[in-house]
A and B are shown apart, each in its own frame.
Chain A
């Protein structure tokens, strides 16, 4: 798959902007030709999501068909309130939201600091520390979860109860800074031209000020991306909450979704309804955030260079 399948109908194409219709073109479509690429691609991408939504409004009997029924004969919107009432989902939503929001904010702050340091500063042990941080990504959780459980329990007993077992703080703290965030921002910061930071330093700004006032505004797309992906990871995290949470009112959404899955039978319609309700906040946040993915030329400060 390459970008050459871009409909080159003549004229200059700039990947970062809209179509520039050149004089060589003989006829125009009433819409951008990119739609012809994006629509089939989107169909492929959202197909499972479509199945999910359809199942969520089916009757349980119709959900028990294979191949799955894509045009149900009967709709059952009551699946949604039924799902909400089958377990304290309000509480699960709140728990998940707190964990996700605090995790995202914490990551934005801590990973910006660390990522910037790795990108721009030279300090003793920089490479070794970065290697250790990356190394933490390379051992599967199935093996580290027991030590992590023990450490978390110790912290809860000896340091701060709120981050111990069966508290949502225990779900936040281990992920308050992630190697992913540090690595991602380091890469992004390194793509920024040094001139702005250097001229600010010449003007006497401290490194922190340079980071906050110069670099971060330029990095809004990366920060928005990091926020969206960290939120997603936190919202969907299942295994660690499964291990760390031992009472129902501390459960997060994924644990709540699991309550529809029995050993032999799954309540598919309720599970999918709950899945939709779980996905919607994530999609809304992304939909709003993705405006920041495209930076206007003015914000880059590159105009007039």
Chain B
């Protein structure tokens, strides 16, 4: 009994000691510091080799710019919005944050977001050197609110071994969706649980942005030019959904992945013939002899082989003029051509600047390190348009996600799904 009360006294003591210890512990995250050193805080989601490269570059920056300190904090990109919004509400935003491009039209409404329109006009920034798609996503209503952080696009990654086994010609640069569907069917073998292709079906933007390039290639548009009404309930929309439906429902050549992660591992295990995916997945396929080809086209339309890109932004928040200036200085250094080249070559990420991406030497070197990446780099030229930069896009994304998933699951016919979704999108746009 006495032991128990002693234990409780010990417990109380521990709590008090703990509190005292904590009073001494804990550091202040951002400080302008004494002696003229400026620290900026940057929230990023770099992992693995990207993280190592970034650390190295930060050290380089600090060495080259004495008195400037960069304090990175890892935050998963998916969680950054939550953290930023809470911090903004609480009055302590970071200096720089990595934010998905799809959030840009909404993030632009945050008062602390710095307007970079004049900054990017400075002579050595060379704003037009960034790819069109990136600049479109960094600009909201004419205001530049971010500097491009990453760029990518969708192309087709295929398993050369499976193609050879099935006696199929590997895809050529002029191939069509008909060929894609036929190839997928031939590559499907239920007996060994092999699928011709896969599609991610969580119903989120991931589902939607894999479908949008098909719509564009078929010559269709998502919304009317004034962004007030849906425009995808059209022959092009029907063609795009029919392509997906044929594979998912009729031929059953499409593996449906609601987890958004199994498809890559399946491809690496040699169970999937072709994937429509991005450059980030290439390093996940060490066990497969893969090839990369541009997306197929719909013959007889104006769409060509265009693809979609999903750029993300570095956004600067206004904590104080000194910190904004320091943040701008860092970002402009970090996104300068020399650093873009360094980052691309060391991580395999696509270069965010055209001057770097157009360089044959860079492309070749990157392709040696990561085969197939050069096709993705040149595919950036196929990015002709971007998703609508409107605040209601997240609502529209949900509607479109459900539309695509219901067609893929065979729960609705393409035309009916298109009409229903178009109605809902019109309502969402009208509500504002």
Within 8 Å by CB, do A and B touch in the complex?
yes
Instruction: Name A's B-contacting residues (CB within 8 A).
Output: 60-61, 64-68, 86-87, 98, 101-102, 105-106, 108-109, 145-146, 149-150, 153, 160-163, 165-169, 172, 212-214, 216-217, 242-243, 246-250, 255, 258-267
Pick the contact of A109 from B12, B24, B87 — CB < 8 Å? Answer: B12
Q: Complex formed: what's the CA distance from A169 to B83 in Å?
A: 19
Contacts of B79 in A (CB 8 A): 242, 258
Known: A149-B86, A150-B89, A150-B90. A168 touches B22 (CB 8 A): yes
Contact B281 A264 (CB under 8 A): yes
**In the bound complex, how far is the Cα of B41 from the Cα of A101, in angstroms?**
30
Distance (whole angstroms) from the CB of B30 to the closest CB of chain A? 8
A101: B residues at CB distance < 8 A = 14, 18
Residues of B within 8 Å of A168, CB to CB, are: 22, 25-26
Question: What is the total number of residues of chain B having a CB less than 8 Å from a CB of chain A?
Answer: 63
In residues 218-275 of chain B, which contact A (Cβ within 8 Å)?
A: 261-262, 264-266, 268-269, 271
Are A243 and B86 within 8 A (Cβ)?
A: yes
Find out whether the CB atom of B89 lies under 8 angstroms from the CB atom of A146: yes
A213 touches B92 (CB 8 A): no
Please state if A212 and B18 are interface contacts (CB–CB under 8 Å): no
Q: Would you call B203 an interface residue if the criterion is a C-beta within 8 Å of the partner chain's C-beta atoms? A: no
> At the interface, yes or no: B106 with Cβ under 8 Å from chain A?
no
Beyond A243-B82, A247-B29, is A163–B76 a contact (Cβ under 8 Å)?
Answer: no
Which single member of A66, A149, A265 contacts B89 (CB below 8 Å)? A149
B280 & A213 in contact (Cβ 8 Å cutoff) = no
Q: A267: nearest residue on chain B (CB-CB)?
A: B48
Closest CB in chain B relative to A236 CB, distance in Å: 16
**A28 to B245 Cα, complex, angstroms:** 62
Residue among A61, A86, A153, A161 making CB contact with B92, cutoff 8 Å: A153
B residues in contact (CB < 8 Å) with A? 1-2, 4-5, 8, 11-12, 14-15, 18-19, 21-30, 41, 45-48, 50-51, 71-79, 82-83, 85-87, 89-92, 94, 261-262, 264-266, 268-269, 271, 278, 280-281, 283-287
A165 to B46, CA, bound (A): 23
Residues A262 and B271 in contact in the complex (CB < 8 Å), given A165-B92, A246-B94:
no
Tell me whether A263 and B8 are in contact (CB under 8 A).
Answer: no
| Cα A258 to Cα B91 with chains together (Å) | 25
Do residues B8 and A162 form an inter-chain contact, with CB atoms below 8 A? Answer: no
Please indicate the chain B residues that have their CB under 8 angstroms from the CB of A149 in the complex. 86-87, 89-90
Residue from B4, B18, B19 in contact with A213 in the complex, judged by beta carbons closer than 8 Å: B4
Interchain CA distance A106-B17 in the complex, whole Å = 12
Contacts between the two chains (Cβ within 8 Å), count: 162
Contact B74 A259 (CB under 8 A): yes
Q: Are A166 and B28 in contact (CB under 8 A)?
A: yes
Residue of B with least CB distance to A154: B90
Q: Which of B26, B48, B74 contacts A250 (CB 8 A)?
A: B26
Residue of A whose beta carbon sits closest to that of B72: A248
Give Cα A67 to B26, complex, Å.
44
Residues of A within 8 A of B268 (CB): 61, 64-66
Please, which residues of chain B bring their CB within 8 A of the CB of A246? 29-30, 41, 73, 87, 92, 94
Interchain CB contact under 8 A, A216 and B28: no
Q: A45 to nearest B CB, angstroms?
A: 22
9 A-B contacts, Cβ less than 8 Å apart?
Answer: A65-B269, A98-B21, A166-B27, A169-B26, A213-B1, A216-B8, A246-B92, A263-B280, A264-B280
**Interface contact B73-A247, CB-CB below 8 Å:** yes
**Neighbour of B14 across the interface among A102, A216, A260, A266, CB < 8 A:** A102
Given contacts A162-B19, A247-B41, A263-B78, 4 further A-B contacts (CB under 8 A): A60-B286, A61-B268, A102-B14, A162-B22
Q: How far is the CA of A167 from the CA of B29 in the complex (A)?
A: 10
B4 near A216: Cβ-Cβ < 8 Å: yes
Query: Could you say which residues of chain B place their CB within 8 Å of the CB of A167?
Result: 22, 25-26
Are B278 and A264 neighbours in the complex by a CB distance under 8 Å? yes
Contact of B286 among A64, A146, A265 (CB under 8 A): A64
Tell me the complex Cα distance, A172–B15, Å. 10
Residue of B nearest to A170 (CB): B26
Contact A169 B19 (CB under 8 A): yes
Contact B265 A65 (CB under 8 A): yes
**Closest beta carbon of chain A to B189's beta carbon, Å:** 17
Most buried by B among A64, A172, A212: A64
Residues of B within 8 A of A250 (CB): 26-27
Chain A residue with Cβ nearest B6: A212
- Rounded to whole Å, the gap between the CB of B291 and the closest CB of chain A is 18
Chain B residue nearest to A151 (CB atoms) is: B90
Cβ-defined contact, B25 with A242, below 8 A: no
- State the Cβ distance, B195 to closest chain A Cβ, in Å: 12
Given contacts A246-B73, A262-B45, A265-B280, contact A146 B90 (CB under 8 A): yes
Give, as a whole number of angstroms, the nearest-CB distance from A215 to chain B: 10
A113 to chain B, nearest CB (A): 10
Across-interface contacts of B264 in A (CB, < 8 A): 64
Q: Look across to chain B and name the residue whose beta carbon is closest to the beta carbon of A176.
A: B15
How far is it, in angstroms, between the C-alpha of A150 and the C-alpha of B87 when the chains are bound? 9
